[in-house]
Every structure is written in structure tokens, then in C-alpha cells.
Structure 1
């Protein structure tokens, strides 16, 4: 068992540290809450699964050494980072254009109508964030047993962190879904939601592009 998991004291410390990090709102929480307010609880839950899959991909990448590549190659890091930032900004512009088209009597929607599109967007946004892989590479080794297998321990801890984060994200979705009916009853709430969605995505894209290599969830 020591090959796959760290000893219980380290594992307990890992769970507590992961829970503290997961509860702290970050770009992923903003993205998921924004999607919930724009499209409802089902879209928010779908976004959680998509972001979790993207984060899991980064955890696996960190375990296989891709984080090392990102940490030593400024070009590789920048290419992936700016691709993710551009995708977020594109989502924001699409939301704003959708709101303008609806105001003019058009039929363009600000947000994807299908859960497949929601899952695709969340997965791409999470996966195209090299800072997540670097975060895993820096965070997970602190809780690993040197006598055990580094690969299996990092994979196990990465999966555990993703599950913990998904659980706390679900709490944010439920809270956002609870206040959504009140927001919808407010005047012009739907149009305001479009603009808030667009602004949030563009803001996240700018934040991603401008931030350095150190970032958590």
C-alpha cells in the first residue's frame, strides 16, 4: 500500500490542505458559477465535470513530466497559456455579441444551448492552463512518501485533489442555483446575465494571459 499512497499523517495533511485550497475561490470557481447563473444548475454541474476532467489531464501531465517542460520552456508555457486565454476571451466576446443580437431581435444565444458545448468549453478552458500542471508538480510532492512510487502516488493524489475540488465546486453551484430564480425575477436580469457572463469570461482570459506561472485552482 505504501507504493500507492503516502502514510496516513501525510495523507491527512494533504486532504486538509487540498480542502483549504479548493474552498478558496479561483478562476475555476468563477467560471463554474458564471456558467450556472447563465444557464442553470445542470450546466453548472456539467461544467464541474468538464473542469475536473481538464484538471485531471493536467495532473496526469504533471505526473508524466509535462510540468517540467512548462517550467523550463518559456515558449511552451506561453503558447498553451495564451491559447487558453484566447479561448476564454472568445467565449466572452461570443456572449456579448449574443446579447447585442438578442437586443436587435436576432436569434444568437449568448451561451451554448447544449450540455455537450458546455462540457467542451469547460474541458478546454481547464486543460489549456499550464499553471495547473505546474501547481500539481509543486504541490503534490510535499505529501509523497519518498520510499514509494512517485508516479503512482502523484496520480493518486492528483485524482484525490480533483475529487475534493469537484465536491467544493458543487457547493458553489448549488448556492448559485439557489439565488438564480431571484435574479431571473429581477427586471432585465437575462440581458444583464449575458453581459456579466461575457465580462467574466473576458476578465478571466485577461487574468490568465497577464498572470505568471504560479497559480492554484
Structure 2
């Protein structure tokens, strides 16, 4: 793999990260409603999920899932149901869901981290990215295809987490004043719930 090809992949990964997808909207929803720390936890969870997709792509699991209509549909519906569950939970909450201090805050942040992780892992479209895009930047006669596949995947994930962190900091800065108002904070929580519900319906109706 030449340096030119590698840089093309970096550029393509960056452009794709700029396109708002379910993961990006999830972390932005958390950031806007609950602040920078919540957004960062969501971003880290999503990034860990991306590494699980990379592992699945390297081992061939992603290809098996995408090749099977039944497996793809099952993963898609589980992911959609999970997003709907999160959205309805936020819509039913009373007031804002800002974090308290102490151990309760730590538990809430860990929960957001794993929610981000599951949101990414249960999105079959992410698996499609790894098995469809990455091979386009590899030579058919590459003597070390697995090594280069991993290198591209790790690079894409690093671009993804860097982009996510930038989005989180910008969104948190722009909405910090809104979260200090209890009424607006409560409205932001409901808006986040509606966003998650919308993402769930969107994922449920998507096709390969």
C-alpha cells in the first residue's frame, strides 16, 4: 500500500465522518442534552464499537452477516429496537437528565459509554463500511492483506474519534448556556428522545 493510497483513505474517512449518521447524531444528542462529558463518553463507546466491527471484518464475521438476509435483518431490528428504547426512555423522563455528582454520575456516564458502544455494534451499516470501503484501498496482490486491513481500520477509527471529539466540544460550547436553564434543559432531553426514536425508525427501514 503506497503513501498516496493511504492518504486518499484518510481523506475519504474524514469526509465520511462529516456526514451525519446514527452514531454522530447519537453523540450530538447526548452532548446537546447533557453536556461535554456525556458526549465524550458516547464518542468513546462508539469508537470501541467500531473496533468490534473491524475485528468482525478481519475474521469474516461481518461478511457472513451481510451475506445472510436473515442475520442482517435480525441485527438491524435489534439495533432499531435499542434506539427506540433509549428514545422512549428520554421522552418519558421528568425534567432534564443532567448528571448528579459522585458515584451516581459515574454510573450514568458508564451507561452512556455502553449505550454508544451498542448503538454502533448493532448498526449493520457500519459493518458494510469495513467490508466494502476498506478493500477499495488495498492491492489485490497484497502480500499482507490482513495487516493492511487492520492498519486502514485503525486509521479510520482514529479519524472517527478525532472528528467526534471536535463535534462534541463545539456542540457543548454552543449549547452550554441552554443547559443551564431548567426548562430548556428539559426540552433538550425530550428532543434527544425524539431524535433517538427517529434514528430507530430510520434504521428499521434501511436496506443494504
Please confirm whether the aligned pair reaches a TM-score higher than 0.5, indicating the same fold.
Answer: yes
Structure 1: gaps of 5 or more residues: 1-5, 103-107
Does residue 124 (structure 1) correspond to residue 118 (structure 2)? The answer is: yes
Aligned to 2:11: 16
Aligned to 1:212: 207
- Aligned equivalents of 1:96 and 1:155: distance in 2? 40
Aligned residues: 201
Contact residue 36 and residue 172 of structure 2 kept, 8 A: yes
Does residue 86 (structure 1) correspond to residue 81 (structure 2)? The answer is: yes
Give me the CA root mean square deviation: 1.9
- Aligned equivalents of 1:14 and 1:42: distance in 2? 30
- Aligned equivalents of 1:130 and 1:85: distance in 2? 11
- Aligned equivalents of 2:206 and 2:167: distance in 1? 24
1:51-70 aligned within 5 A = 51-70=46-65
The worse-fitting range, judged by mean Cα deviation, of 62-71 and 10-19 is 62-71
Does residue 31 (structure 1) correspond to residue 31 (structure 2)? The answer is: no
TM-score with structure 2 setting the length: 0.90
Q: 1:171 aligns with which of 160, 166, 170?
A: 166
Contact residue 34 and residue 98 of structure 2 kept, 8 A: no
Contact residue 66 and residue 133 of structure 1 kept, 8 A: no
Structure 2: gaps of 5 or more residues: none
Does residue 77 (structure 1) correspond to residue 78 (structure 2)? The answer is: no
Per-residue displacement from partner, 1:78-126 (whole Å, max 9, x unpaired)?
1111111100000001111113xx4xxxxx9588952110111011111
SS at match of 2:133: helix
Contact residue 34 and residue 179 of structure 2 kept, 8 A: no
- Aligned equivalents of 2:33 and 2:155: distance in 1? 29
Residues 109 and 42 (structure 1), Cα distance of their counterparts in 2 relative to 1, 3 Å cut: closer
Does residue 183 (structure 1) correspond to residue 178 (structure 2)? The answer is: yes
Contact residue 30 and residue 42 of structure 2 kept, 8 A: yes
Residues 155 and 138 (structure 1), Cα distance of their counterparts in 2 relative to 1, 3 Å cut: same
Aligned to 2:137: 143
The worse-fitting range, judged by mean Cα deviation, of 45-54 and 175-184 is 175-184
